[in-house]
A and B are shown apart, each in its own frame.
Chain A
Amino acid sequence: MNDMTQPELMHGHHGPAQGITRWLYTTNHKDIGTLYLWFSFAMFLIGGCMALVIRSELFQPGLQLVQPEFFNQMTTMHGLIMVFGAVMPAFVGLANWMIPLMVGAPDMALPRMNNLGFWILPFAFAMLLSTLLMEGGGPNFGWTFYAPLSTTYAPPSVTFFIFSVHMMGISSIMGAINVIATILNMRAPGMTMMKMPLFVWTWLITAFLLIAVMPVLAGVITMMLMDIHFGTSFFDAGGGGDPVLFQHLFWFFGHPEVYIMILPAFGIISHIVPTFSRKRLFGYASMVYATASIALLSFVVWAHHMFTVGLPLAGELFFMYSTMLIAVPTGVKVFNWVSTMFRGAISFETPMLFAIGFIVLFTIGGFSGLMLAISPADFQYHDTYFVVAHFHYVLVPGAVFSIIAGAYYWLPKWTGHMYNERLGQWHFWLSMIGVNLTFFPMHFIGLAGMPRRIPDYALQFADFNMIASIGGFMFGFSQLLFLYIVIKCIKGGEKAEAKPWEGAEGLEWQVASPAPYHTFAQPPRID
């Protein structure tokens, strides 16, 4: 290990530039990773405020705080910002920071494109947010923006929405190309594919998914643009088009997109669980195969979001069967994590708590997903709060918990300090209780018949809505504690060793904490 840190020491004098230009011009994977992570956290807070507007309006029946027009803008923006602004950039940030460290590379393969990929995002989101101030308001057609509500019937700001989604897509594709180029070309000698850490594997597969489906999203929004401004009728039955075509295209992007948001999470959890169980990951190879099969299956399940549009019976059956099939590889992953913990020597530091929270609650989200796959039953679940409960379970205690777990896990490596463990535990328990109070009751109101995306509701849904709103505020404000813990950890704290976790394995723990500005100028050897 000692000789591995030598090159870094020699490079130590070559530190970051000073001031704002460090961040504007940086091509350093660690700086860019940091930028992505902070950007994503800012978006998480903005999208979270929108969620709290929604939950406040739904606290009681009747219209109190906002009017329906604005409510629809909030649901739309909340979804777009959380998906494209919070979750995806957070994973890209983690990839930037950790993939070079994990494969023993000095940086990402394409550092300048890396810089561009990040700096597109603030402009894209500034434009998206500015639509809220435009005449007619911002996008109000849901984050799934079904035509013709998003074309013929959309507010004028839809054009800006299209432009900003194009920019986000370009940024994602650049990020994905970079990840693939880095992983395929820059692994340390001796690191064969089947020796790659799982976070690297899951990101490699995610990056291929991104490259496959982002162009489809770009295509579908370009078709919208043509319909709105250039007189085509792709989605307008009056001109020979088909509104359902929009949904097929959108979900051909949209379903792989949900795996884009969860596969890297699987990777993170597969690092944390073995570390704190002090036992090797159970079934490494089957984890890789399961991830790959989930990714492949994700291309043939898209119409399960469209069971009520009037698909032919054969289509309905095909998409029901293929969707049910996804439960198998997903189950394999959960079983593997549990077997890793089984007969380990487990300790419960904050990353592990979030990882356990992830496994339990993501699995609950998986169960409701299995229920939704049963097409006849989906006629009752579709577009109700049951669906809202389902995808929030896989995205909040799923994707978001994994990001938080990863942040705690790698904070010592990033900052050189240990975070405050006591506060971390508080953060976990507040988040855990808040998230369940918010989203568990949504299963009930959905089954009882409350449609999603409504600003006001019938009286029998009142009590659970009130509980969900209280939970929402609790979860939201707990995240400020997270902000405090992270800032405190950056500023100081107990000194972190190169390998702060007893059971941790991997190259990232062989460099000093905090990781020097340049690492692995000489590739390490893996045998």
Chain B
Amino acid sequence: MDTLRDIGGRPHAQGLPCKAFVLLLWAPPSISFADWELNMPVGVTEISESVYSLHMTIFWICVVIALIVFGIMFWSIFHHRKSKGAKPAEFHESTTVEIIWTIIPLLILVGMAVPATATLRQMYDTSEAEVDIQITGYQWKWRYQYLNEEIDFFSNLSTPKEQIQNQAEKTDTYLLEVDNPLVLPVGKKVRFLLTSNDVIHSWWIPDFAVKKDAIPGFINEAWTKIDKPGTYRGQCAELCGKDHGFMPIVVVAMNDNDYSAWVAQQQAAKQAKAASAEKEWTLAELMTKGEQVYNTACAACHQANGMGIPGAFPALKGSVMATQDKAAHINIVLNGKAGTAMAAYGGQFDAVDLAAVITYERNAWGNDTKEMVTPQEIKQARGQ
């Protein structure tokens, strides 16, 4: 687990005294210390540090109150027990005492509310951001759009199925790894605009203390300013359907030079991709590409073998649409079907990927139409 920590670069508080206690009770010899993560990360932003200190303050306040209250209680349990011949006292009310133990907690709470209010105001100040990123939740992946740099990509879980199915050994970043991480510059204020394409998701990176719901039809704002380069990992925090547990978030924070280089590289790749739409594709090429797209974008619902999940997601293997009605097939993939989980993919993929995935569905699993859908056809259908 130490390696995970290095990758993540997460400094963690080690302060809790109960850690030693827990270890004494339960640690089997083979388990390393770092497995027993007990506390919230301090994180790598100013906000995450203030949140951490609020958390620890309120925690210690609770500990002190607990010691006093439980202390008196256990003292009574030991000394005022009938078996020791205790005689019950007569008192059963005292207005003074009641007032005191109403006022004191009230004052403690006011003391706590002051710093909490300050931190909250800071969290809500999304002004003067230098980088704007739109984050869109999809069942079950994230889309990142850099509004000024015109970069736009999806981020999918990259943990292989075999690891999840226990057929391969799990690596340190199991379930916390993606194909395309969100890349951010350090030291710059980054504003996130969050929304969703389907159900509510929630974008969360513990090291930034940023958690905000992505709600369909609405845009939420959040911001961060990362202090240290590194890789930071989080997960979707709002139940969003079947693969809610399988849509992690990975952020790679880079210093300015690396970040600019990365932006330039992304833009070059985008141009190369646009050019490829013009070339002549063969059925075999489209099938290979289509299988990739299918497995990242469609298999979660329609399943890798095209059989779907009865009652929830229809089978594409042998379906009328995927074997006969080509126009309808293109239409449903481009525009989705309102009121169902089938989303519109026209805005998510370029013409090549769409052509490839539809071609794949029309030829895989014995659908064998031998028909090809070309990027040009997709462009045409979009034109309508």
Contacts and interface: CB of A to CB of B under 8 A. Distances in A.
A149 B235 contact: no
Contact of B72 (A310, A324, A342, A447): A342
Contact of A463 (B36, B176, B220): B36
A448 B92 contact: no
Contact of A376 (B119, B212, B217, B241): B119
A379 interface: yes
* Count class of interface residues, chain B: 35 or more
Given A341-B80, A360-B70, A371 B218 contact: no
B243 interface: yes
Contact of B98 (A62, A286, A454): A286
Given A328-B105, A449-B206, A338 B72 contact: yes
Interface in A354-413: 356, 359-360, 363-364, 367, 370-371, 374-377, 379-380, 382-384
A285 B93 contact: yes
Interface string B323-365: 0000000000000001111000000000000000000000000
A346 interface: yes
A308 interface: yes
Contacts of B218: 237, 242-244, 310
Contact of B92 (A142, A283, A380, A464): A283
A331 B17 CA distance: 26
Nearest to A376: B119
A146 interface: yes
Interface in B242-256: 242-246
A345 B87 contact: yes
A243 B215 CA distance: 7
B58 A68 contact: no
Interface string B47-85: 000110011001100100110011011001100111100
Contacts of A248: none
Nearest to B234: A449
Contact of B73 (A285, A341, A453): A341
A344 B87 CA distance: 7
Contacts of A267: none
B354 to A, nearest CB: 23
Nearest to B341: A153
A451 to B, nearest CB: 5
A444 B94 CA distance: 40
A332 interface: yes
Nearest to B70: A360
Contact of B81 (A69, A342, A346, A363): A346
Contacts of A136: 310-312
Contacts of B92: 279-284, 340
A464 B166 CA distance: 20
B347 to A, nearest CB: 15
A374 B54 contact: yes
B16 to A, nearest CB: 9
A310 B102 contact: no
Contacts of A520: none
A380 B123 CA distance: 13
Interface stretch (B178-186, B197-205, B267-275): B197-205
A14 interface: no
A313 interface: yes
Interface stretch (A87-95, A102-110, A314-322): A314-322
Nearest to A359: B73
Interface string A58-88: 0001111000110010000000000000000
B245 A68 contact: yes
Nearest to A134: B311
Given A64-B166, A377-B51, A69 B82 contact: no
A328 B106 contact: yes
A380 B124 contact: no
Nearest to A461: B37
Given A380-B40, A448-B38, A345 B211 contact: no
A467 interface: yes
A375 B54 CA distance: 10
B239 interface: yes
B163 interface: yes
A282 B39 contact: no
Contacts of B170: 61-62, 459
B215 A310 contact: yes
Interface in A121-147: 134-137, 140-142, 146
B86 interface: yes
B171 to A, nearest CB: 8
Contact of A451 (B58, B94, B117, B236): B236
Interface in A298-350: 308-310, 313, 316-317, 320-321, 324-325, 327-328, 331-332, 334-335, 338-348
B240 interface: yes
Contacts of A141: 239
Given A309-B215, A356-B77, A447-B40, A62 B164 contact: yes
Contacts of B112: 324, 374
A522 interface: no
A8 interface: no
A455 interface: yes
A153 B92 CA distance: 57
A285 B312 CA distance: 56
A379 B73 contact: no
Interface string A31-59: 00000000000000000000000000000
Contacts of B147: none
Contact of B199 (A149, A238, A463): A149
A332 B98 contact: yes
B202 A383 contact: yes
Interface of A: 61-64, 68-69, 72, 134-137, 140-142, 146, 148-149, 152-153, 155-156, 236-238, 242-244, 277-286, 308-310, 313, 316-317, 320-321, 324-325, 327-328, 331-332, 334-335, 338-348, 356, 359-360, 363-364, 367, 370-371, 374-377, 379-380, 382-384, 444-445, 447-449, 451-464, 467
Given A237-B216, A344-B88, A457-B175, 15 more contacts: A135-B310, A137-B312, A149-B239, A277-B80, A308-B202, A310-B213, A328-B105, A331-B105, A335-B101, A347-B83, A379-B211, A383-B204, A383-B238, A459-B172, A460-B35
14 contacts: A134-B311, A148-B216, A243-B217, A343-B76, A347-B83, A363-B70, A375-B120, A379-B123, A379-B210, A453-B244, A455-B245, A459-B4, A460-B1, A463-B26
3 closest A-B pairs by beta carbon, nearest first, are: A237-B217, A136-B311, A454-B245
